[in-house]
Amino acid sequence: MRHFLLAATALTLSAAAAADVPANPWHAKGRDLLENAINIPSVTTRPEEVKKLVAYLKAEFEKGGFKDVIVKDYEGTQGLIVRWKAEGRPSKKPMLLIGHMDVVDAKREDWSRDPFKMVEEGGYFYGRGTTDMKNGVVAIANALLWLKAEGLKPKRDIIVFFSGDEETDGVGARLASTEWRKLVDADFALNADAGGGAYDKQGNSLGFGIQTSEKMYQSYTFTARNPGGHSSRPRPDNAIYDLAGALKRLESHRFTPMLNETTRAYFQFRQKQEKGPLGDAMRRWLADEKDGAAADIIEADPLEVAMTRTRCVATRLEAGHADNALPQTAKALVNCRIFPGVDAKSVQAELQSAAGPNVTVEPYGTSTPSPPSPLRADIIKAFTASIHKRHPGVDIVPQMSTGATDGLFFRATGMPVYGVSGAWIVIPEDERAHGKDERLPVKSFYEDLDHWHDMVRALAQ
C-alpha cells in the first residue's frame, strides 16, 4: 500500500468503513491471529518480544499440521521459515511467501489507544502493525492453515519466510537470500509488504497495485571541514556555511529522469486518467524519455514525487563543538532512494559535483542493488483474478516502491519478487503506517484473508 491511482469503480463509504463480522471460521481464526500478533510488541529494539511472536506463529503452524518449521537465530533476533512440501513429485519450482514480524515502536502517550492492544472500533482494527505489516503476516499464515485444512495438495513446495528486523537493518532477509538460500530458494516470491489498493473518501477506487520494483536505499555523508578558531574573529570561510551552500544546491538538484518496464506501465495507466497539463506531461515523457522538462512537471506533482528518477534529501545535521568556537566540522546525512539499475557510485559522483569542492561526499552504510522483476503473466493473472473477485473491474497497476522492503534482497540475487497485498485503505485518512493510531478497515482485513487463500491456491496448482 504505497502508491495508488484514480480509477472509476465506486465503493460506498458505508461499505468501506462499516463494522464487519467474521463470515466464516477462517475469518474468525484470522482475527484471533491478528489480535494476538498486535498484542505482542515486537519492536526490533525489543528482540525478546520478536521471539515471542516467532514462538506464537511457530506453534500455530505446528498445530495446523506443518512439520517443517525452522526458527533461525541471528543478530539477537529471530526469523521463521516454514515449508509445505508438494504432494508427490513437484511439477513446479517452489514459491516463497515473505513478510516481516517486527514493527516500528510507538509510545502510549502519542496514541489515542494503547498501540500494542488491538481494538476494533468504527469498522477499523487499531494497533501498531495493522497495516505495516502484521496484517500481511497473518494473511499468509491463515491462508496456509486454511488451505491445508481444506486438503490442498500443492504441486510445488510453498515456503514462508518471516524476518525479524525489516524495519531496521534487514539482516534477516539478507541472510535468507544468501546464507540460508537452500532453505528458501524459489521460482519467485510473493511479498505481503507491498502492493494493495485504496479508495478515496467518496468511495472511488484508486486502483490496486502490484509491486514489481523498488528503489535502492543508500545514504551519504556531506562533510565540510575547517581549521576553526575563536568565534570573536570570524574567518572568511566557515564549515557550516560551506555545508549550507552544498545542501541548498542539493535541494534544487535533479537527477536524470528514466523509465523501466514497471514505471512505463504505471505511467501508461496514469496518463489515461490525467486529462490536463499533468497528463500532457506524462504523454510527452512516455513519447520521449529524454524530455526532462516533462518529467520535471510530473515530479512536481505530490502524488508522483520520486517516481521519475533518483531522489536524495538531507535528513540529519551535526556541526560545531562549542558556542564560542568557529566550527571545525559540519556534517549532514543525505538519504537517497536510487532508481533501479543506477549505480551508487555514480550517484555519489553526481552528488559530489553538486556539493562543490569544499564538501566531501562519502557513502554511509552499504546498498543492495535491486533490479525490477519481470511482469510475469502467471503472477499478474492470479493477482488480478483474486482482486477482481472482490473488486470487479478495478485497475491493476504495476508499481515501483520509492521505499524499500525485504524483497529487495531477494531481487538482488535474481529471484523475482512481487508485492501482492490484497488489503486496501481509505486515502488519506488511513495512511498511518509508522504513525499515530495506525488502523486498517475490518472489511479490508477479511478480504485480504480471502485474497491470499485464493491467490496461493491458484499458484500452488
- Alpha helix ranges (H) inside 64-161: 134-150
pLDDT at 112 over 50: yes
Q: Which residue in 67, 37, 35, 68 sits closest to 50, CA to CA?
A: 37
pLDDT at 373 over 90: yes
- Alpha helix ranges (H) inside 230-343: 239-252, 261-273, 277-287, 292-299
Distance between CA atoms of residues 237 and 110, nearest Å: 43
Integer-rounded Cα radius of gyration of the chain: 24
Cβ neighbours, 10 Å, residue 24: 12
How high does pLDDT run on average in the chain?
93
pLDDT of residue 8: 33
Distance between CA atoms of residues 129 and 102, nearest Å: 8
Residue 132 domain flag = yes
Contacts of 369 (CB under 8 A, 6+ apart): 216, 340, 341, 343, 344, 412
Could you report how far apart the first and last alpha carbons of the chain are, in Å? 27
Q: Same structural domain for residues 209 and 248?
A: no
Cell of 179: 546464507
Q: Which residue in 71, 98, 265 sits closest to 192, CA to CA?
A: 98
Cβ neighbours, 10 Å, residue 446: 23
pTM of the model: 0.87
pLDDT at 240 over 80: yes
Residue 65 falls in which region: left (phi positive, over 0), alpha (psi -120 to 50) or beta: left
**pLDDT above 70 coverage of the chain, percent:** 96
User: What's 125's domain CATH number?
Assistant: 3.40.630.10
Distance between CA atoms of residues 125 and 327, nearest Å: 50
pLDDT at 399 over 70: yes
- The tens digit of pLDDT for each residue in 293-337 reads 999 999 999 889 999 999 999 999 999 999 999 999 999 999 999
- The tens digit of pLDDT for each residue in 173-221 reads 999 999 999 999 999 999 999 999 999 888 888 889 999 999 999 999 9
The secondary element (H helix, E strand) that includes residue 330 is strand 329-338
- The tens digit of pLDDT for each residue in 138-147 reads 999 999 999 9
In this prediction, residue 14 has a pLDDT band, given cuts at 50, 70 and 90, of very low
pLDDT of residue 342: 95
Domain count within the chain: 2
Q: Same structural domain for residues 141 and 74?
A: yes
Cβ neighbours, 10 Å, residue 65: 11
In a 13 Å sphere around the CA of 303, the CA atoms on its Cβ side amount to 14
Q: Same structural domain for residues 55 and 173?
A: yes
User: Phi, psi at residue 339, to the nearest 5°?
Assistant: -60, 135
- The tens digit of pLDDT for each residue in 50-103 reads 999 999 999 999 999 999 999 999 999 999 999 999 999 999 999 999 999 999
Q: Of 307, 333, 364, which marks where a domain is finished?
A: 364
Distance between CA atoms of residues 304 and 95, nearest Å: 32
Distance between CA atoms of residues 262 and 411, nearest Å: 14
Q: Same structural domain for residues 322 and 251?
A: yes
Q: Which residue in 379, 193, 232, 220 sits closest to 310, CA to CA?
A: 220
Residue 4 domain flag = no
In this prediction, residue 370 has a pLDDT band, given cuts at 50, 70 and 90, of confident
Calculate the alpha carbon distances from 401 to 97, 339, 419, 431 in Å: 18, 10, 9, 15
Torsion angle of the four alpha carbons 223, 227, 228, 230, in this order, in degrees rounded to the nearest 10 = 180
Mean pLDDT of 399-412: 92
Q: Same structural domain for residues 117 and 252?
A: no
pLDDT at 388 over 70: yes
pLDDT at 21 over 90: no
In this prediction, residue 7 has a pLDDT band, given cuts at 50, 70 and 90, of very low
Residue 449 domain flag = yes
pLDDT at 1 over 70: no
Contacts of 354 (CB under 8 A, 6+ apart): 246, 249, 250, 253
The secondary element (H helix, E strand) that includes residue 361 is strand 360-364
Q: Which domain holds residue 426?
A: 13-214+370-460
Q: Of 311, 339, 364, which marks where a domain is finished?
A: 364
What is the residue type of 8? A
In this prediction, residue 22 has a pLDDT band, given cuts at 50, 70 and 90, of confident
- Cβ atoms of 244 and 378 closer than 8 Å: no
Distance between CA atoms of residues 164 and 249, nearest Å: 38
In this prediction, residue 244 has a pLDDT band, given cuts at 50, 70 and 90, of very high
What is the residue type of 418? Y
Residue 5 domain flag = no
Cβ neighbours, 10 Å, residue 283: 17
Q: Same structural domain for residues 67 and 177?
A: yes
Distance between CA atoms of residues 165 and 92, nearest Å: 31
Cell of 415: 529471484
User: What's 296's domain CATH number?
Assistant: 3.30.70.360
Give 193-253 as a DSSP string: EEEEEEEETTSBEEEEEEEEEEPEEEEEEEEEE---EETTS--S--HHHHHHHHHHHHHH-
Q: Of 349, 364, 379, which marks where a domain is finished?
A: 364
Residue 62 domain flag = yes
Beta bridge partners of 161: 81, 98
What is the residue type of 318? E
pLDDT of residue 2: 38
**pLDDT above 90 coverage of the chain, percent:** 88
